[in-house]
Amino acid sequence: MDTQQRAVRVGENTFDVRIGGPEDGKWVLLLHGFPVNSSCFDAVVPRLHESGLRTIVFDQRGYSPGARPDGTDAYHLSNLVDDALGVLDELGVRYAMVVGHDWGGIVAWHLAAKHLDRFTSLVAASTGHPSAMRDALSSSDQREKSSYIKDFIADDAEEKLLARNGVLLRRAGVTADELKPLMEPGALTGPLNWYRANFTGNIADTLACPAVEIPTTMVWGDGDTALGREQAELSGRYAYSDYRFCVLPGVDHWIPQHAAAALASEIALRSAMF
């Protein structure tokens, strides 16, 4: 099935966007995390098309070469949320299902909670509701699991993460092909600024998110070493509509790449339940 490549301008930024699937299919917006761009969904998207769904994937702020504004503040969560809405507006998409992994999951929770007039349902992979993350940080080993963040917000993070051909990122599970775009001069700064803009200062206020009132699925792999079970499981407290918690045995943090069929199935199931 054909996939259309688009350059979508939102304000001063231009995003690399791919659209595909049946023209009469329900829209699904897929949001990637750190540090892999929208290519993380390459094995998911064709399965969604086979299920009759129409997809939008785009390289978000800092990942699209035309959307790399200067300054840490430009990567505040509110801007990331507005980018997703702006892309939908420019494409003329009034309603969509939203899917997010890792950082894309945080953006997706905020979209679903604050713009329920635009989204029919939510599937979050790995990343629980921000309030569930807050709860887990105080009652589980999630604080220890999240200790890597201090390294990501450091001034020399780019140098350390890209040293020796990105050995630290490769050890974390990033493939050589996924790493390649990040090796371009300045390409890693935008993605790291997601952490610098939102995990410094008043973090609680920045990440604060209302409960979600649209149908929601939380997908989590029990091999995830960065995001623990509690933050995923507790997300049900903050999902007030139909809710499903799906555990993928033996799957690590990289659900879109390593469990594409399972994730696609959960997305298709959630779309059918709407």
Residues marked active site are found at 102, 195, 253
Helices (H), 3-58: 45-50
Cβ atoms of 258 and 252 within 8 Å: the answer is: yes
Residue spans of beta strands (DSSP E) within the chain: 3-10, 13-20, 26-31, 53-58, 96-101, 119-125, 216-221, 243-248
Q: Three-class SS of residue 26? A: strand
| Residue 52: φ, ψ to 5° | 90, 15
Place of tokens 């973090």: 203
- Contacts of residue 25, Cβ cutoff 8 Å, sequence gap at least 6: 49, 52, 53, 54
Other C-beta atoms closer than 10 Å to the C-beta of 1 total 10
